Amino acid sequence: MRRSLTSIILAIVAIAAAAQVEFNQKGLKYTTRDEKSVKVGKIDDNHKPEGKLIIPEKVKYDGNTYVVSTIGSWGFFGCDKITEVKIPKTISNIDIWAFTNCEGLTQVNVPPTVKTIGYAAFEDCTNLTQVKLPPTLDIIRERTFSGCKSLKSIDLPPTVRTIGLAAFKECKLFRRVVLPESVQVIENYGFYESSLREIVLPPTLKYIGESAFAYTKLTSVYIPNSVHYLGRAAFYGCYDLRTVIILANITEIKNYMFFECMNLKEVYFPETVYYVSENAFYYCNTLSTIINFEQIKTIYENSFQDCYLLNDDIVKHFSSIERLPCNY
């Protein structure tokens, strides 16, 4: 029975593939998605478009008229001489890796008809400076703009709920980002190794993932009380960080949270925090003030290692509570 079902599925896939029609027009390849629409991409690696890429709304082939509805997976991957792309309002989907490694691309205007932008769609577009996103978008997917080293800022539409894994990793010219109140989740490595100096977190934010802001240029952080998860190493290696206010609804500071934040001077803990994990403030050697330290009940031997400037009251308190051995 299982073999019969597998055979049927494979037959259906084969029939669907056979039913697809591919054709080339004016330097672009089109593949039918159904009887009325097609997806678009480059012909092959030997026929890459250059300069301004204009994607048409419709194409005619073999007596039929098709709406261009999708920029296909790997559609223009590695087309490093495209400088600008005009996306028509018939496009509803930009698939995975659609413009990855388009190193010459400088600006993109995504029309409001686009509902999804796929995984790593603009990854490593190293000269991309301007992006306009549609007001219909609800997620910035994994690695969408990772490695866009010339992107200075981005206006997120008020519909975005999730910043995906490594979505803005290594955006080296980022300075200030204001997240709309629709954002609830920043996934792991969301802004990792970007040059972000200021982030405004909305009062609706619930989740900040592992290493979300590690190695950024942040100077201060305000974490609202709507946050109920703050991932490990979230601010690892933020050497310019000086002040942190945590109002989040959390009970612990996870391991490596502020590891090597060497200029961190002041931290405000919420009254719910009672546990500080391993290496949480390791080598924060200018840290002197911790507000609400009194409710801390448990730390590790290295939770505050090399924090030489902690005031006497804090040191005395930490000497009197449970200190767990390090798990080297």
Q: What is the DSSP letter of 1?
A: -
Average pLDDT, the chain: 93
The dihedral formed by the CA atoms of 132, 136, 141 and 143, expressed in degrees to the nearest 10: 0
% of residues, the chain, pLDDT over 70: 94
Residue whose structure tokens are 């900040």:
208
pLDDT in tens, 169-226: 999 999 999 999 999 999 999 999 999 999 999 999 999 999 999 999 999 999 999 9
d(CA 310, CA 124) in angstroms, rounded, equals 42
Q: Is the pLDDT of residue 5 over 60?
A: no
Range list of β-strands (E), 37-145: 37-42, 51-54, 58-61, 64-71, 82-86, 93-94, 107-109, 116-117, 130-132, 139-140
Distances from the Cα of 182 to the Cαs of 34, 185, 205, in angstroms? 34, 9, 8
pLDDT in tens, 26-81: 999 999 999 999 999 999 999 999 999 999 999 999 999 999 999 999 999 999 99
> Sorting pLDDT into bands at 50, 70 and 90, what band is 11?
very low
Q: Give the residue from 88, 89, 131, 141 showing the smallest Cα distance to 106.
A: 131
pLDDT the model gives residue 85: 96
pTM for the model stands at 0.91
**Where do the domains of the chain lie?**
21-248+266-271
d(CA 94, CA 245) in angstroms, rounded, equals 39
Q: Is the pLDDT of residue 101 over 60?
A: yes
CATH top-level class for 21-248+266-271? Answer: alpha beta
Q: Is the pLDDT of residue 137 over 90?
A: yes
d(CA 283, CA 185) in angstroms, rounded, equals 29
pLDDT the model gives residue 328: 60
